[in-house]
Every structure is written in structure tokens, then in C-alpha cells.
Amino acid sequence: MKFRFLILAVSVGMSFSIFASTKTEIDHLLNYVKSTACLYERNGTMHSGKEAFKHIEKKYKYYLDDIENTEGFIKYSATKSTMSGKHYKVHCGNKPVIASKDWLLLQLKKFREEK
């Protein structure tokens, strides 16, 4: 009986740890979007980082029950328009335009490497 409890306790502890890690990563990405000088393109319209943050945060709250990890956050909240199906794009100065999904996955990779 003690062994089963120990396994359950370890599993629950790992779940909280994974959740905390995911929450930290998502918060980082939201702040990254919010503070960017890049422009976010949604359905052909340009938006500031702060505007993009508000939109992504709104979608994040809507899809919260479907999101299991940080990659899921990107998929559901910051990849494409639910209405039109058009992918979000990021415009950063003279750099080539990049899909929002790829831009955020690159930042997530950097964030994980720095930890």
C-alpha cells in the first residue's frame, strides 16, 4: 500500500513540475510577443507586439483545456486564424518574414537552452 502511495505521490509531483515548467515557458513566450518590436500579421493586417499579445492571450484562455504543453500553446494560440485558417506571420525589420509558429518555437528552444 505504501508503495502505491509513493508512486502516486511521485506522479502527482512530476505533473505539477511539468505544469510549472510549461506555465513558465508560456509566460516567457507571451512576454516575448508583448515586448517585441516586430510586427505580427494576422489575416493581412499588421499588429504591434502588445496587440498580438492580447489576441494570443485571449486564444490561450479559450483553448486552455486543450493545451497540454508549450508546443500545444503555440499550436492553439499563436499559429493561425481559427476563422480564416491563415497562418500568422512575423515581420522583423529587414529579416525574412517568418511564420509565427516557427518564430515562437525558435524562442522556446533558446529559452530551454538557457535554463
* Domains of the chain by residue range: 2-114
Query: Helix 70-77 vs helix 2-35: angle between axes, to the nearest 10 degrees?
Result: 40
Residues 88/40, Cβ–Cβ less than 8 Å:
yes
Q: Give the Cα separation of 19 and 84 in Å (integer).
A: 31
Residues 2/25, Cβ–Cβ less than 8 Å:
no
The pTM of this model reads 0.82
- Residue-averaged pLDDT of the chain: 87
The predicted-structure confidence for 61-87, as pLDDT tens digits, reads as follows 999 999 999 999 999 999 999 999 999
